[in-house]
């Protein structure tokens, strides 16, 4: 067996391969769609207080406006990935965008919080499809050897969507003739534009396989994951981590997932083919993706709160302060992608990225309320550099290691576990943050800290606090935030260990679509 591992079968002439111009045209539609999916989760951040006030919602509803979309997006990713292996990728990505349009319209016109929550589920299903299918479509169009040069483009879209979202949301909310409803409606024209662009520019032949989707397995996976995500979202503030509700939800979620594994192992066409985990590369990249999700999202999501509560910055300034990390991610992702395309070697960037990520987490664990901003920004940039080299190339390594007819499943598995790790990380470390802040404030202020039996405290109104108490509150949030990164560092180190054991394999020089045609031409049983 040769190192290139190109399958033997129908010859690849390049006659049907998309040109670079056609690829860039199709990527324009994908980029618009990705921008919309990212914008949906960030643009609403500054609008939530106004939404809750106008619709007479509660603090619980505040949480669930965010959580319902996350649940729907994470739980449906494997199903979207499986359907991409069986049906037209172009049709599926347009369907996901269509669902997003419907959800956005309902959310923008909602009369009450109940309808808003339903609309967020629809939005989440559409965003889940867009998130999974964008990478699958790229793998179908572009050979792994050339994929790196396009990764920076998507990194730029991710960065712009992340930074611009809160800023756009703040402007819309504060503009009297627009208002918070446009935080949802603004995605509609972008989604329609993406559908039109993809219809005109994306040309992927469909290699049909006459199989039935394992709907029972899909239902069990969705129900199991949703149950665990609901638990991780509510534990620590609605009920204690060690409680009857925890035992019930965790046991129920695990039981559903065990049943899903049992079903998936026995059907001819599972949603998540268990045999793909026989590949050491897929298994290790999946583990690394989940650990990165826990460490990265669990730590960085609370930086904005640190900027506002500990450093006293406005929401708009806090959004701009994330620029160093995003820029670090963009530069490293782009440079690493170009070098991978040029030299064909990729493992070194995974190892370096994971190592730099660990260092960045450890440095951020030293921040205080008095940390100089240039030093803080350098730590954030370092973390961004590590993430840029690591996250996207984990997907590349997995896609390069599986047969073309399992590209969708492999890509969605990594996306799924990364999202689930992020959701659990945010929930678990959020509870740690709340409990640590409570403890620190109680030490300084006693019962005046507002501690409840659940061990949490409401986020204080800084403008109403006298200076001595304000200093204590700011210091408590800074200390608790730094400790989150100290917890995240060993989790990131485990991701580094997983990456070290991945075996480097030469990158394919033909696209996923071409590989699928080659595999389809192989004799049965080959």
pLDDT (tens digit per residue) in 60-104: 666 677 777 777 887 788 888 878 877 888 889 999 999 999 999
Distance of CA 331 to the CA centre of its chain: 19
Residue 66 lies in a domain: yes
Domain-terminating residue out of 208, 239, 256: 208
Tally of domains in the chain:
3
Strand ranges (E), 27-69 = none
Specify the pLDDT at position 163. Answer: 65
Three-state secondary-structure class, residue 345: coil
* Better pLDDT: 334 or 451: 334
C-alpha distances (whole Å) from 54 to each of 122, 179, 451 are 22, 11, 29
Helices (H), 235-279: 244-264
CB atoms within 10 A of CB 243: 12
Q: Is the pLDDT of residue 344 over 90?
A: no
Distance separating alpha carbons of residues 199 and 194, to the nearest angstrom: 8
Mean pLDDT over 122-143 rounds to 84
Range of the domain at 230: 214-268
The answer to whether residues 259 and 285 belong to one domain is no
Three-state secondary-structure class, residue 178: coil
The answer to whether residues 258 and 359 belong to one domain is no
171 contact partners, CB below 8 Å, separation of at least 6: none
C-alpha distances (whole Å) from 100 to each of 122, 221, 455 are 7, 22, 38
Distance separating alpha carbons of residues 457 and 438, to the nearest angstrom: 6
Share of the chain above pLDDT 90, in %: 18
C-alpha distances (whole Å) from 247 to each of 141, 228, 250, 424, 454 are 46, 11, 5, 16, 17
Residue 9 lies in a domain: no
Band (206; pLDDT cuts 50, 70, 90): low
Residue 10 lies in a domain: no
The tokens for 62 are 């505040």
Residue 74 lies in a domain: yes
The answer to whether residues 218 and 284 belong to one domain is no
The tokens for 220 are 């069990």
313 contact partners, CB below 8 Å, separation of at least 6: 307, 321
Specify the pLDDT at position 495. Answer: 92
Domain-terminating residue out of 190, 208, 226: 208
pLDDT (tens digit per residue) in 159-197: 667 667 777 777 787 777 888 899 889 889 988 988 888
Q: Contact at 8 Å (CB) between 354 and 336? A: no
The answer to whether residues 91 and 49 belong to one domain is yes
Three-state secondary-structure class, residue 235: strand
The answer to whether residues 118 and 202 belong to one domain is yes
C-alpha distances (whole Å) from 239 to each of 109, 224, 247, 302, 420 are 34, 20, 11, 21, 21
> DSSP for 192-225?
HHHHHHHHHH-------------HHHHHHHHHHH
Band (362; pLDDT cuts 50, 70, 90): very high
Residue with tokens 């202020």: 445
The answer to whether residues 353 and 384 belong to one domain is yes
Specify the pLDDT at position 405. Answer: 73
Distance separating alpha carbons of residues 498 and 484, to the nearest angstrom: 22
Distance separating alpha carbons of residues 227 and 354, to the nearest angstrom: 30
Handedness of CA 121, 122, 128, 131 (dihedral sign): negative
Specify the pLDDT at position 12. Answer: 43
Distance separating alpha carbons of residues 339 and 318, to the nearest angstrom: 33
* Better pLDDT: 125 or 11: 125
pTM: 0.77
Nearest to 204 by CA among 34, 29, 392, 23: 23
The answer to whether residues 505 and 363 belong to one domain is yes
The answer to whether residues 156 and 279 belong to one domain is no
525 contact partners, CB below 8 Å, separation of at least 6: none
Distance separating alpha carbons of residues 45 and 35, to the nearest angstrom: 16
Residue 8 lies in a domain: no
Specify the pLDDT at position 454. Answer: 40
Residue 124 lies in a domain: yes
User: Half-sphere exposure of residue 30, counting CA atoms within 13 Å on the CB side?
Assistant: 28
The CATH number assigned to the domain holding 61 equals 1.20.1250.20
Domain-terminating residue out of 246, 268, 290: 268
518 contact partners, CB below 8 Å, separation of at least 6: 7, 8, 9, 10, 12, 404, 510
CB atoms within 10 A of CB 11: 10
The answer to whether residues 233 and 182 belong to one domain is no
Residue 247 lies in a domain: yes
Mean pLDDT over 368-383 rounds to 92
The answer to whether residues 304 and 238 belong to one domain is no
The answer to whether residues 178 and 225 belong to one domain is no
The answer to whether residues 199 and 334 belong to one domain is no
Main-chain dihedrals φ then ψ at residue 386, nearest 5 degrees: -65, -45
* Better pLDDT: 421 or 301: 421
Residue 143 lies in a domain: yes
Q: Is the pLDDT of residue 514 over 90?
A: no
Specify the pLDDT at position 156. Answer: 65
């Amino acid at each position: 067996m040769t190192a290139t591992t190109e399958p033997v079968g129908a010859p690849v002439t390049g006659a049907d391969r998309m040109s670079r111009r056609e690829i860039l045209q199709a990527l324009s539609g994908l980029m618009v769609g990705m921008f919309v999916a990212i914008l949906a989760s960030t643009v609403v951040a500054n609008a939530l207080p106004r939404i809750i006030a106008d619709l007479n919602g509660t603090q619980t509803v505040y949480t669930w406006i965010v959580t319902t979309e996350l649940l729907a997006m994470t739980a449906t990713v494997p199903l979207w990935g499986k359907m991409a292996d069986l049906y037209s990728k172009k049709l599926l990505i347009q369907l996901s965008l269509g669902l997003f349009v419907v959800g956005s319209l309902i959310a923008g016109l909602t009369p009450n919080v109940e309808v808003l929550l339903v609309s967020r589920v629809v939005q989440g299903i559409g965003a889940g499809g867009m998130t999974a299918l964008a990478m699958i479509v790229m793998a179908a169009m572009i050979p792994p050897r050339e994929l790196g040069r396009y990764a920076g483009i998507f990194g730029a879209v991710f960065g712009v969507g992340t930074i611009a979202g809160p800023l756009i949301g703040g402007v819309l909310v504060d503009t009297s003739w627009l208002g918070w409803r446009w935080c949802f409606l603004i995605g509609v024209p972008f989604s329609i534009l993406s559908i039109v662009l993809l219809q005109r520019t994306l040309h992927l032949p469909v290699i049909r396989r006459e199989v039935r989707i394992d709907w029972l397995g899909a239902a069990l996976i969705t129900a199991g994951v949703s149950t665990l995500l609901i638990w991780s979202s509510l534990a620590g503030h609605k009920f204690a981590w060690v409680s009857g509700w925890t035992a019930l939800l965790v046991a129920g979620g695990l039981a559903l997932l065990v049943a899903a594994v049992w079903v998936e192992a026995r059907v001819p066409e599972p949603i998540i083919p268990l045999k793909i985990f026989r590949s050491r590369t897929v298994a290790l990249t999946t583990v690394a993706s989940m650990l990165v999700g826990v460490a990265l999202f669990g730590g960085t999501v609370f930086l904005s709160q640190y900027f506002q509560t500990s450093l006293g910055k406005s929401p708009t300034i806090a959004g701009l302060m994330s620029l160093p990390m995003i820029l670090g991610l963009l530069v490293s992702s782009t440079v690493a992608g170009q070098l991978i395309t040029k030299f064909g070697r990729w493992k070194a960037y995974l190892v370096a990225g994971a190592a730099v990520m660990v260092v960045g987490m450890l440095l951020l664990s030293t921040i205080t309320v008095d940390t100089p901003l240039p030093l803080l920004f350098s730590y954030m940039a370092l973390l961004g550099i590590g993430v840029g080299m690591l996250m996207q190339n984990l997907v590349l390594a997995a896609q390069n290691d599986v047969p073309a007819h399992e590209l969708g499943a492999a890509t969605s598995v990594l996306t799924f576990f990364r999202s689930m790790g992020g959701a659990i990380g945010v929930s678990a470390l959020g509870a740690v943050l709340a409990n640590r802040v409570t403890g620190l404030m109680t030490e300084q202020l006693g019962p005046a800290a507002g501690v409840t039996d659940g061990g949490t405290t409401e986020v204080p109104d800084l403008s109403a606090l006298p200076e001595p108490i304000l200093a204590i509150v700011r210091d408590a949030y800074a200390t608790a935030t730094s400790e989150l990164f100290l917890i995240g560092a060993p989790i990131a180190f485990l991701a580094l260990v997983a990456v070290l054991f991945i075996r480097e394999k030469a990158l394919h020089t033909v696209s996923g679509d071409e590989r699928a045609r080659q595999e389809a031409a192989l004799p049965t049983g080959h």
